[in-house]
Structure 1
Amino acid sequence: MKIINLERIIRFPWGLEFAEIQTYEMCAEAVKRYGLVLKDIRWGELNLTKEQIYNLCLIAVRQNGLALKYIKWDELSREQIEKICTESVKQDGEALYYVENQTPGICLRAVRNKGHVLRCVKEQTEEICLEALKQNKHAIRYIKNKEKYEKMFDIRYLEAQNGAKEVIAIKENGQWLFSVECQESITKEEFLYRIHNTCGGFDFKNGINIHRRVYIDFLGQFYNVELNYFKIILDILKQHGEDLDGVELNKLNLTKEEINDIYIKAVKKDRIALQFVKEQTPEICLEAVRQDGLALQYVNWRKLKSKFSKEQIEEICLEAVRQNSYALQYVKNQTEEICLIAVKQDGNVIKFVREQTEEICLTAVKQNGLALQYVKKRTEEICIEALKQNKYAINFIKNR
């Protein structure tokens, strides 16, 4: 077994516990390097002066404030205790937990080091609260009179209630950031996502449960509009357009404009949402196909044929094929203009053209020679243009 002496303690301070004989010098070197070994000092075996005991304690807490837990209090004067406590919280604010006789000065030192140790302060003063919030705004959760400081520090606080968790919102660089449970400093959009997805989701069919309504009411203050939780629902739908399925908006006491706004936000997010829009309008359909041309498949032409003008229908189809040429397959009334726009982007979509013209076919094979395989009437000119673009188009020519 290795001998635990001063030289070894300097290298391995935590070996103090196993030293057969402890000395003041060994203890001093040990706590200077690792304050928590203060617990391993065998005070009864050492013939130390009160000054030496004080020095060991002071050295220990300066290295690690939490060594305060192992202080030999009965050998210290009141002034020495205050000095040791001050040094410990200065090194680690958490040490305040072990301070029995707190003073304003010690508490100030502690919260300046770690604002959240305000929870350990027995008597809060305005100065202590201000210093705690300067160091960590999340310390607001431990302040008794929160309203006084919320506006001062751009903080908003939601107390845990009715199944809703505590929420702390802090404005940083012009943006509100939210902290709830283990998620810290998330954006408003991320918070909305959490409301929507956690604990079974945000179920419009069964109504808004109590704790989600608490969150929504809390969020209302961060919108530059009069408190209206349907504005927040818009943002949720903006992230989850497909969830319009089953939403009975007519039961939510919304105006026609608000319902229209919800639908537009939803289809901008996800093309699939269009199939759940009960009252489709040219504006909603246009927004959907601009987001994704393939949303054209969800336009309810049967209902809208009598409501939309010919020009409106053509505009929707044009926007769709501009965004995605494969939307051509969903165009009911194809015009040469619509078909040309589609094949200019991808010649292969000529396979969806019901009435192929010479111009459409030429445009298609010039874009992609292999589109020749879908051309019904392969004239000499069309074949030549196809071969110019891609020599492998020869595979689709009968009279080579």
Structure 2
Amino acid sequence: MSLDVAQLRAQFPILQRQVNGQPLVYLDNAATTQKPQAVIDAITAFYTECNANVHRGAHQLSDEATRRYEKAREVVAAFIHAAAREEVIWTSGTTEGINIVARGMSQQLQAGDEVMVTEMEHHANLVTWQQACKAAGATLKVVPIHEDGALNREAFSDLLTDKTRMVAMPHISNALGTINPVKALTAEAKSKGALVLIDGAQGVAHGIVDVQDIGCDFYVFSGHKLFGPTGIGVLWGRKSVLENWPVWLTGGEMIATVSYQDATWGELPNRLEAGTPNIAGAIGLAAAIEWFQSLDVSALQVHEKALLTRATELAAKVPGLRIVGSSANKIGILSFIIEGAHPADIGFLLDRQGIAIRTGDHCAQPLMERLGVPGTARASFSIYNTLDEVEQLFIGIDKARTMLG
């Protein structure tokens, strides 16, 4: 198969609109991706055909809703190569998934134990483990990065000890685009007896994720960065680990028995899913995955690489522009600063030209401090972006530079 970008773009209604009188150039995909019509239709179909609560309803609508909802779990399990469907736990997103694991881990940590994260963490995977360590009296270790944004592998090895209980790291940096060698890092961590959590928020939309091949214990991601709806995410965990993992939220659905004095928890996946779930979100995510899997992943990766390569070439020609994060192994994220221009001003002036990017610290304040910048302007590419849009970005940057003097 080859990639027909024009045909692909036609499936995204929002890409047809204008912003400030200009055709939309959407380059904020690391924050959230746009949704194809197939996802919109799947969500609409649920609400118009079988809207009902799942599992306990004694009527046809509930039965139909339950079938679609649980089929969605099977779609996710197959997509990430889970060993069993019950290893897929629905969450509101990556952040909740990390919190479920960290809250459970904090009950197992003791003073003297260690948790490892990296300098490139999103706040969701930094603050959560920071607070878990504080609660347990454990030590949080931070693996440094090189100047180009790549992880310092030697430091990673040096910081691992027999006291390391958890290694939590991103598959891909949301701020820099750096791809971490998670399989090799996981194997090294496991050799010390540590559990491993991978923050896959940026990983799932850029290639095939195989949790068995990675070898991790937990993999978490959000639907909205995989062309699916907001408010739905996945915590995958090994069944042998999740079966006895401490529960965080309690309430309906996750209960086995209840008395006024005590309660017992149900089997997976119910025991970690309290309350009415985001049924439409799960169905929409499954539709996004099925749509994504209908494409040629290799062709998508070649296309994204071409976008990044062209953007990097054009960036080198802009006076005073410096790319932040230049690791050889990265996805289509171009974070940059321009001498004499605040990132927020760049973002504003690009928006006036219909070009959507992200500016600021990208929920990675310590990383920005480490790199010595207050924040960056970030253009992040996805499969529906075009080389012409890359050109438009740099035409816009030249106009912004002129206006900023």
TM-score relative to the length of structure 1: 0.19
TM, length-normalised to structure 2: 0.18
Structure in which a larger fraction of residues adopt strand? 2
Larger helix fraction of residues: 1
